[in-house]
Chain A
Amino acid sequence: DTGVSQDPRHKITKRGQNVTFRCDPISEHNRLYWYRQTLGQGPEFLTYFQNEAQLEKSRLLSDRFSAERPKGSFSTLEIQRTEQGDSAMYLCASSSGGRPQETQYFGPGTRLLVL
């Protein structure tokens, strides 16, 4: 399977704990995106990378959130001091930049539940 993969698929944590999610994009894609989806809503943009550079961050990405893509391949999203409001599905997508239509392909998501 050469699609976008995410790990873990599910995470249950207690409020105040730190969590880290991983995304492996499609291998030849240079752009990687993180989105958050809460119940009954569409995905909302969090941040995106072109290669290893983080080029845009949403206002949704508070100081407790940090994302990295150190070698321009996989990415991690860390949430520190989790809150119940962080419970959501975290989706990763990748694309091949440089094409006008730039289709983003999504992974299966990591579902986070903060107790």
Chain B
Amino acid sequence: GEDVEQSLFLSVREGDSSVINCTYTDSSSTYLYWYKQEPGAGLQLLTYIFSNMDMKQDQRLTVLLNKKDKHLSLRIADTQTGDSAIYFCAERNYGGATNKLIFGTGTLLAVQP
């Protein structure tokens, strides 16, 4: 089945690390993406990882993938107020019949000054 799940809300203090979690269900070769959406705006691609990788780091962002549990996390180091937004994880089956992205419901990150 196709189901991507995320926790709904996360609140952190400025300067702390944020960890946003996601679980996915596709069992074949999969690309997993993190997008950021600010109020009233479209989606900004942050990073992606292929399902045969364990970790990917890009500046303040670290993606960890637990393939056994189909669990994905996005860690934001030194969280800033400008990081306040909704974060979506999405999966796309590679090599399958479809190229569509399947999104989670999003996690609202609130950064307290």
Give chain A's interface residues, CB within 8 Å of chain B. Answer: 4, 6, 31, 33, 35, 40-45, 48, 56, 58, 91, 93, 95, 97, 100-109, 111
Contact = CB atoms under 8 A, between A and B. Distances in A.
Contacts, number: 64
B100 A56 contact: yes
Given A101-B50, A102-B99, 7 more contacts: A41-B106, A42-B106, A56-B99, A93-B43, A95-B99, A100-B31, A107-B42
Given A42-B88, A42-B106, A104 B41 contact: no
Given A42-B88, A104-B45, A56 B98 contact: yes
Contacts of B105: 40-42
Interface of B: 4, 31, 33, 35, 40-45, 48, 50, 88, 90, 92, 94, 98-106
Contact of A43 (B31, B43, B92): B43
A12 B40 CA distance: 15
A40 B100 CA distance: 20
24 contacts: A6-B42, A33-B99, A33-B100, A35-B101, A40-B106, A42-B4, A42-B103, A42-B104, A42-B105, A43-B101, A44-B103, A45-B100, A100-B31, A101-B31, A101-B50, A102-B31, A102-B99, A103-B48, A104-B101, A105-B45, A106-B42, A106-B44, A107-B42, A109-B42
B105 to A, nearest CB: 5
B42 A91 contact: yes
A102 B92 contact: yes
